[in-house]
Amino acid sequence: MVCVIGSDCETDLARRCAADALIAVVGALLVAVVVHDVFHTLFHPVGRGSVSPHVMKLVWWLLRLFRHDRRIASLTGPLGIALVVITWGAMAVLGWAMLYFPQMADGFAYGTELNPADRHSALDALYVSLVTIGTLGMGDIVPTSPFLRVMVPMEALFGFMLLTAAVSWVLQIDPALRRRRVLALQLSTLREARRANPDLDVDGIPTGVLTGLAAAIVEARNDFTHYGATYYFRDVEADASLAASLEYAARLANDGAASTHPQTRLAAALITAAVESLAVLLNQNFLKLDGNIDAVIQAYATDHRHGEQRRAPTA
């Protein structure tokens, strides 16, 4: 709807124009929020958006109610990612629909089988937004104003970019999850090897193995920085869960600090620094505790339902 407010413009018409303008502004803000969140989640070095972390936390909290069902618990991460993408899409569809709504009567042409007098502007705006962002292009309602003839194709491009971003997000997360599981398996394998060979002290472990663990922990910290959503992927198998194995890395570093070999002490110091750095990051971004490093490691294990593994005897 287009109107010009003059001295004799009626009050209700002025109010309707103001309401339409407000709706369009809110719609533009919604679209801007989606763009901001996608950029900060996928492309910003820190990798933390404004919407996606809250959605992931909500799914994490809801599925904690099924604490006794291991299969449901393992779906937290995938379901969270899916819900984030759905939230992005819903916000984008609603935002573009609110941009279209004020101009449905004058800015769009209806097909011959549609009677504009019988149409509902809000539903039609939502319909146009849905078929456009999905690049369906039904053609029964088409833009006629120059402004809309630019905006509608832009939404189609936006929908294509949103789909591409969602796919690339999944492809980015999967390697990070594999690196984290490999690190956890390395730690659990080393723990079991020392448990099976009680005479094998930390000096018998090659320093290359210890420095490799330190490097892998640093890489895991980097993955948590860039892909914060990976925190909400719970590994049901304890041996493949970093939450269940991180404490052993700290104990291994403590054992190495008492070694008489300088290279072993240096490797242990590297592991200690890497574990502490990871624990600080986990605390700042996810756990929000006031405790020390040991308390953070315990909370990390408990949050992923592996607290009982932490209390198991280790070599």
pLDDT at 218 over 90: yes
In this prediction the pTM is 0.84
Q: Give dist(CA 21, CA 54) in Å, integer.
A: 30
263-272 confidence digits (pLDDT tens): 999 999 999 9
pLDDT value of residue 116: 64
pLDDT score recorded for residue 117? 66
pLDDT at 207 over 90: yes
Question: How long a stretch of residues is the chain?
Answer: 315
Locus of tokens 């490691």: 297
Q: Supply angle C-alpha 54, 60, 65, rounded to 5.
A: 135
pLDDT at 278 over 70: yes
Whether the pLDDT of residue 311 is over 60: the answer is no
Mean pLDDT of all residues in the chain?
88
Confidence label for 314 from pLDDT (cuts 50, 70 and 90): very low
| Rounded Cα–Cα distance for residues 214 and 226 (Å) | 19
- pLDDT higher at 108 or 250: 250
**Looking at residue 215, what is its pLDDT?**
97
Task: With a cut of 60, say whether residue 3 has pLDDT above it.
Answer: no
Name the token pair of 111.
């097909």
Helix (H, G, I), strand (E, B) or coil at 109: strand
Query: Whole-angstrom Cα distance, residue 94 to residue 129?
Result: 8
Residue 111: is its pLDDT beyond 60?
yes
Say how far apart CA 120 and CA 157 lie, in whole Å. 26
pLDDT per position as a tens digit, 6-64: 555 568 778 888 888 999 999 999 999 999 999 988 887 676 778 999 999 999 988 88
- pLDDT of residue 315 exceeding 70, the answer is no
| CB contact at 8 A, 249 and 190 | no
Determine the pLDDT at residue 49.
Answer: 78
Tell me which residue has tokens 């492309």: 43
Per-residue pLDDT reduced to its tens digit, 162-199: 999 899 999 999 999 999 999 999 999 999 999 998 88
pLDDT confidence of residue 312: 43
Predicted local confidence at residue 74, as pLDDT = 79
Given a contact cutoff of 8 angstroms between Cβ atoms, the answer to whether 202 and 259 are in contact is yes
| Spatial distance between the Cα atoms of 101 and 128, rounded to a whole number of angstroms | 10
* Residue in 61, 101, 99, 108 with CA at minimum distance from that of residue 83: 61
